[in-house]
Amino acid sequence: MSYSDSGNTWRSDGAAHAYDPYLHPELFRGVAMRRVFAFLIDMVVISVPVILGYIFIALFGVVTLGIGWALFWLAWPASVIWAIVYYGACIGGPSSATVGMRIMDLELRTWYGAPGYFVLGATHAVLFWVTVSFLSPFVVLVGLFNGRRRLLHDFVLGTVVINNSVRAPVPQTARTY
């Protein structure tokens, strides 16, 4: 992936500082608000299977006269594992984005332009929840005070979320007529 505009170039093939907010502000336009909506969409995607699992355990407990309710002790750890696997698999996938990020046209990259991978995606989710839990939700305000709209956990992991709707201009072929 490359982009060129009046001689300024960013590359995502391993070049240092691939995403410069001053040379290419369009990559970060609207990212903060889109991240909020992407997060809400991802919470719905994660919550639906968890809620269905709890309903299944409740009904299974009724059918087994209360014995099945012992499975409730597995529900919380399974929910955490599901969320970590969801983020890891989505960020580590070919689009480097969760379902919510894809809907909002966002993509997670390393600061030097490499795509995400499973461990990065899983760590990104865990570190987000840890920072929000210990430092309060106000930690997301960090994104309003830097050009790349990076949050605290993005700084720690060396990641950046870019506006994926910005496409490299495609050169047109010469017309033969």
Q: What's the CA gap between 170 and 30, in Å, rounded?
A: 23
Which residues lie across from 107 on neighbouring strands? 162
Query: How confident is the model at residue 167, as a pLDDT?
Result: 58
Give the C-alpha separation, 135 to 157, whole Å: 17
- By the 8 A CB rule, do 2 and 19 touch? no
Q: What is the pLDDT of residue 176?
A: 59
Which residues are within 8 A (CB) of 163 and not within 5 positions of it... i.e. 6 or more apart? 26, 27, 28, 29, 30, 31, 34, 105, 106
Q: Check pLDDT > 50 for residue 6.
A: no
pLDDT for 140 equals 81
Query: Is residue 2 very low, low, confident or very high in pLDDT (cuts 50, 70, 90)?
Result: very low
- pLDDT confidence tier of residue 14, bands split at 50, 70 and 90: very low
**pLDDT for the residue numbered 112:** 87
Please give the full DSSP string across 118-131, using - where no structure is assigned: HHHHHHHHHHHHHH
Report the SS3 class of residue 173.
Answer: coil
CB atoms within 10 A of CB 68: 16
The tokens for 134 are 């210990």
Q: What is the domain partition of the chain in residue ranges? A: 23-163
What is the pTM for the complete model shown?
Answer: 0.81
The alpha carbon of residue 112 and the mean position of all alpha carbons in its chain are separated, in whole angstroms, by: 17
Between these two residues, 174 and 135, which has the higher pLDDT value? 135
pLDDT digits (tens, 9 = 90+) for 64-104: 999 999 999 999 999 999 999 999 999 999 999 999 999 99
Band of pLDDT at residue 9, cut at 50, 70 and 90: very low
Q: How far apart are CA 107 and CA 5, in angstroms?
A: 21
Q: Which of 26-35, 69-78, 140-149 has the lowest mean pLDDT?
A: 140-149
Neighbours of 8 (CB within 10 A): 11
